[in-house]
Amino acid sequence: MLPTPAVEVPIAAATPSPVRRPVPPVRVVVASIGVDVPVVEVGVEEGGFMELPVDPAIAGWYRFGSDPAAPDGNVVISAHVDAPEFPIGPFSRLRDAAVGETVEVTDASGQAHRYAIESVTYYPKAELPVDDLFARSGTRNLVLITCGGAFDSNTGRYADNVVAIATPIT
């Protein structure tokens, strides 16, 4: 009689692991420059631009990107610097944020995520590094965006974007 080969086959569940549900940010605070604004979920408007709340005192979180608890990817939060029929918004002060200052983002579960400002950069709108800023993998930064630079009254737009990049404080 010949021996019968024995093979151990690992048993694994046939159902996939549950998908991680994002926990959206609901508030962003940069106390050193007087920024304390609610945050709402936003998407993409016609033309491919990030949708933003009309009121400059409310920021928008790009819901197709990473959330503050995500293991990687950038959390993108943006607000208008101003808008007709509204006063100048708090994000207008992003240009004054200094390297090392703390940003606190509170998510819908009540958890606070802390970041340190790494850089504040003006980009001409046509040169905004969208792929880098909206990265869904790799870096794990907070990206705060508003308008800045010269205002063109003919187009009703600012020439630049002000981008503050902040890294997680662990």
Euclidean distance between CA atoms 27 and 112, whole angstroms:
9
Domain boundaries, the chain: 25-168
Closest CA to 63 of 122, 23, 115, 103: 23
- pLDDT tens for the chain, 170 residues: list them: 666 667 777 777 778 778 888 999 999 999 999 999 999 999 999 888 899 999 999 999 999 999 999 999 999 999 999 998 999 999 999 999 999 999 999 999 999 999 999 999 999 988 999 999 999 998 899 999 999 999 988 888 899 999 999 999 98
CATH for 25-168 is 2.40.260.10
The C-alpha R_g of the chain, in whole angstroms, comes to 21
Amino acid at 144: L
Give the pLDDT score at 1: 62
Query: pTM for this structure?
Result: 0.88
